[in-house]
Structure 1
Amino acid sequence: MKKLFDRLKLPSTHRQSENNRRDFLRKGMLGGLSLGMMLDGKPEQEMEFITQKVKRDSKPAELKITDLRIAHLGGVPFKSPIIRIDTNQGLVGWGEVRDNASPNYALMLKSRLLGQNPCNVEKIFKEIKQFGGHGRAAGGVCGVEMALWDLAGKAYNVPVYQMLGGKYRDEVRMYADTPEITDPASFAKKLKETRLDKGYTFLKMDFGIGLLADKPGMLTGANVWKLNQRDNKAKTVGNYNATKHPFTRIQITDKGLEYIAEYVNKIRQGVGYDIPVAADHFGHFDVNTAIRLGKAVEKYQLAWLEDLVPWFYTDQWKQISDAIDTPTLTGEDIFLKEEFIKLINAKAVDMIHPDLASSGGILETKKIGDYAEEHGIPMAMHFAGSPISFMANVHCAAATENFVALEHHGVDVAGWEDIVTGSKPLVVNGFAPVPNKPGLGVELNEEVAKRFLLKDQKWFAPTEEWNTRDSHDRDWS
């Protein structure tokens, strides 16, 4: 051993420490040490041999992707396909396809990933982003990107936020989405008991034409659309959910606007004005009705009005934003930064709202936030998945300066936090502590996660049928 340490020219303090362990090494290696000494004159091979059972995080330069599999969970709160990427060094990376999206969006990328070093996150993302699209179609690309960052963090033994440039905050503020209740007094009571009393400092609720569907004199033009699953009387002229807002020609009457305003007023009376309350899911109506609705609730000081019209109607968004005083917000279905840039440059919205599982993943969402920050635009983040995607959001939010709040859609899901192990609890008094563990900071808890597995799905079944690439991917000539 002395010959070996002399050859490696270790510092004297290191040599003394190693000498103190000499007896342990002699006993622990026994015959193996004798074999190691056969490599006399080859110090690198000697050191590799005698430390072969020492646990390492990884050899990042030699890390390779060997497999990709899916476990499709349900009720977390929606359907969420969990991605597992395996490597040649035993490291596992976790990602998640966006809620209610197909696992195939991720599986078809497997043939593009095999053999690649997952630490080259941006390089791989540029190769696969052509297979993403707006809304759920981005789910595979974004879920894989999450898993790559998880692997890179584990390989280098650092949390993901550190690889994004460090963090602006130690805790990430949550805003709690709450399913609506028709009676506003009961809804306000639920908000207080299940949200405010648990420490949440930011709320979101739904109100809109769904509240008015069964009330006479409150909507014009709604009688030919099926506005909800309970409505079996409507003579439909098309699929309401698939018809873009301006084309339904539904309008809210003055009576309907008064009802909505009173509904919001009672919510405010119940939770007070110290707490920000945002609003979402108003229904499918045109820009004129959106402006009238926005003006009707202005005095209740809502944090924002979300997705009043589809995100791609930039001119209409600017028309709405210029006409009302309540902040406007959109973006949960936008893929990549370019479309956010259009909205920001046009000053069409007051805030942006990417869903990391659609917007391009962790790094692309930070780039979106950084661009908005340079133009004075705040960023809230949409989220409705399992703790895997949640932690990806937490790292991104921690590393982005203009971040405001992250949605938590699983507050009422029993056992939601138990789906993972690691940095726990995930939420403390309405805030998510930013983990300092490598990668995303959590591992899938298989025992608990299996309880959420969809009945017709298998647990991370083999996916060899996706191993072979069957197309020419280059999108230029």
Structure 2
Amino acid sequence: MKKFLSRLTPAPSSGDAANRREFIRNAGLGGLSLGMLFDGKPDQELEFITQKVPRDSKPSELKITDLRVAILAGVPFTSPIIRIDTNQGLVGWGEVRDGASANYALALKSRLLGKNPCNVEQLFKLIKPFGNHGRAAGGVCGVEMALWDLAGKAYGVPAYQLLGGKYRDFIRLYADTPEGKNYDEFAVNMAKRRDAGYSFLKMDFGIGMLADQPGMLVGASQWSVKRAYDPTTGGKMGNYAMTKHPFTRIQVTKKGIDKLAEHVGRVREIVGYDTPLAADHFGHFDVNTAILIGKAMEPFRLAWLEDMVPWFYTDQWKQISDAIETPTLTGEDIYLKEEFIKLIDARAVDMIHPDLASSGGLLETKKIGDYAEDAGIPMAMHFAGSPISMMANIHCAAATENFVALEHHGVDVAGWEDLVTGIRPIVEKGYVKVPDRPGLGVDLNEEVAKKYLRKGATWFAPTDVWNERDSWDREWS
């Protein structure tokens, strides 16, 4: 009977102690015990002894059975976490981009039910028409993360291995410089960043810091310049936050340019020149003003100037890049490789900056990076989410040769690393060690994550209303 058991019953996974004990306990019912229970009926005996055996070793038979979300807040922003369940008990974790609706992911559920998650590229092609630039890509990208997590777990390999292998064992992070009420406080905050081991930093500066000072800006009084992220506050000219850069006609005076240069110079003194320092969030103004600011920043050897005009103005980006010596960079809101290709082919920017939660997920972002690599253009990566999305970025960064650094926006979020299990610590001295655990390498720590559940949200509530597909999706006739 023992030979019969060993021949027909696969052993449980090595990491599942509870199942292993259960397996041994059940196997101990062999011989006389099983004979007494089932009176020599081998089909019932076999059903009994295998009911606790894991069945996650059959990737070809893996099927998606459910998709649910839980919306977390303050991690550092709002992030809907995706959970994809399967018929073999495997769970895949993904994340909708910060600030995006969970419905972007839920709308994809009816297209995924019953499908094998290991067919990642096939499923991505099936759902990618339902994404778009910016946060509208969040559902497609979050699902794609969860599919790679499931595929890696099913085959027992880390996600980077499924992308072709890794170029590096450690992923360098860049951290935003923390703000301070004055430069003395800023210097203290910067010392904390250095003590934490971050060797690449980014700061925000722009016309918002000039708005209340006389003689700094032309035309700014007609706009709510300090409300760059408020889509509800308008005025006679319109809403500043929602008006594309060239159309505000705001200009910066010589006095304003000097003030910005003084600010960046003092920050550079605090940071020093051994540490790369990038810059972001300049405000909404035209190409001419962008060039003036860019030239004024050249003495400080910044790593890049980010998103000076919207990403889709390819010709304007080329104007700026050709006129200044500081590297230019954009891309965090671009969905799919095609628009990146336009920027790269035009030599419109010096670097690209995809956000994996908008650019198409792990494989599409690797394709974007590979195309840029062939053109001699480096890739930094934008990120502002939970450790689930970070680990998707880590695997992609490991598998992409021209990668430079990954943003970490949750440095100051208390308990951020406790949101997941599987890796501890996640960040060490400004780097993340690429995990060798299957899939993304982490699982949601539900006990901790529940503390971050957005007010009014439900913890992975049933989503049966999204089960039925009610449209014809084909894009061609």
| Superposed CA RMSD | 2.5
* 1:223 counterpart SS class: helix
Name the SS for the 1:241 alignment partner: coil
Residues 346 and 38 of structure 1: CA distance in aligned 2, closer, same or farther (over 3 Å): same
Q: Give the Cα separation in 2 of the matches to 1:36 and 1:358.
A: 60
Alignment of 1:309-328 (within 5 A): 309-328=309-328
Aligned to 2:249: 249
The equivalent of 2:383 in structure 1 is 383
- Aligned counterpart in structure 2 of residue 223 of structure 1, from 213, 221, 224: 221
What residue in structure 1 maps to residue 329 of structure 2? 329
> Are the equivalent residues in 2 in contact too, given 1:331–1:352 (CA < 8 A)?
yes
Where does residue 201 of structure 1 map in the other structure?
199
Alpha-carbon deviation of 1:228? Answer: 1.9
Q: State the shift of 1:28 in Å.
A: 4.3
Report how far residue 186 of structure 1 moved. 3.0
Which whole-Å CA distance do the structure 2 matches of 1:410 and 1:420 have between them?
Answer: 14
Cα distance, 1:46–1:377 mapped onto 2, change above 3 Å: farther
1:278-357 equivalences under 5 Å are: 278-357=278-357
**Equivalents in 2 of 1:404, 1:33: separation in Å?**
61
After superposition, residues 405-424 of structure 1 pair within 5 angstroms as: 405-424=405-424
Q: Is the alpha carbon distance of 1:117 and 1:220 closer, same or farther for their aligned partners in structure 2, counting shifts above 3 Å?
A: same
Q: What amino acid maps onto 1:67 in structure 2?
A: D
Residues 178 and 190 in structure 2, CA contact (< 8 A), matched pair in contact too: no
State the Cα deviation string for residues 135-174 of structure 1 (Å, max 9, x = none). 0000000000000000111111111011001111111000
The CA distance in 2 between the partners of 1:281 and 1:165, in whole Å, is 35
Q: For the structure 1 residues 46 and 361, does the alpha-carbon distance in structure 2 shift closer, same or farther, using more than 3 Å as the test? A: same
* Corresponding residue number in structure 1 for 2:93: 94
Would you say the 8 A contact 1:36–1:46 is kept in 2? Answer: no
Amino acid of the structure 2 residue aligned with 1:311? W
Tell me the SS of whatever aligns to 1:192.
helix
Relative to the length of structure 1, the TM-score reads 0.91
Q: How many residues align?
A: 458
Deviations 1:43-79 (A, max 9, x none): xx99998665444543111111011111001000100
Deviations 1:289-317, CA, capped at 9 Å, x for gaps: 00000000101000000000000000000
Query: Matched residues in 2 for 1:366 and 1:405: separation?
Result: 14
Is 1:442 the equivalent of 2:442? Answer: yes
- Asked whether the 8 Å contact 2:55–2:88 carries over to 1, the reply is no
> Unpaired runs of 5+ in structure 1?
9-22
Alpha-carbon distance between aligned partners in 1 of 2:168 and 2:39, rounded to the nearest angstrom: 49
Q: Residue 471 and residue 32 in structure 1: after superposition, are their counterparts in 2 closer, same or farther (change >3 A)?
A: farther
SS at match of 1:474: coil
Match of 2:264 in 1: 264
Distance 1:163 1:36 in 2: 48
The answer (yes or no) to whether the contact 2:56–2:89 under 8 Å persists in 1 is: no
Residue deviations 1:435-472, cap 9 Å, x none?
11111111111111011101110000001110011100
Secondary structure of the structure 1 residue equivalent to 2:427: coil
What's the counterpart of residue 116 of structure 1? Answer: 115
Cα distance change of structure 1 residues 393 and 324 upon mapping to structure 2, 3 Å threshold: same
- Tell me the TM-score normalised to structure 2 length: 0.91
CA contact (8 A) 1:189 1:270 kept: no
Q: Is the 8 A contact 2:233 2:239 kept in 1?
A: no
The residue number in structure 2 matching 1:29 is 30
CA distance in 2, matches of 1:25, 1:112: 39
Residue number in structure 2 paired with 1:191? 190
Aligned-pair CA distance for 1:30: 3.8
User: Structure 2 stretches of 5 or more lacking a match?
Assistant: 9-23
Q: Which amino acid counterpart does residue 97 of structure 1 have in structure 2?
A: V
CA distance in 2 between counterparts of 1:5 and 1:163 reads 34
Query: Do structure 1's residue 142 and structure 2's residue 141 form an aligned pair?
Result: yes
Deviations 1:391-439 (A, max 9, x none): 1000100110000000000000001000111112110000011111111
Note closer, same or farther for the CA distance 1:185–1:235 as it changes in structure 2 (3 Å cut): farther
- Shift of the 312–233 alpha-carbon distance from structure 1 to 2, 3 Å rule, reads closer
Confirm or deny: 8 A CA contact 1:106 1:143 kept in the other structure.
yes
- Take 2:7 and 2:464, find their aligned partners in 1: how far apart are those partners? 48
Equivalent-residue separation in structure 1 for 2:233 and 2:51 (angstroms): 72
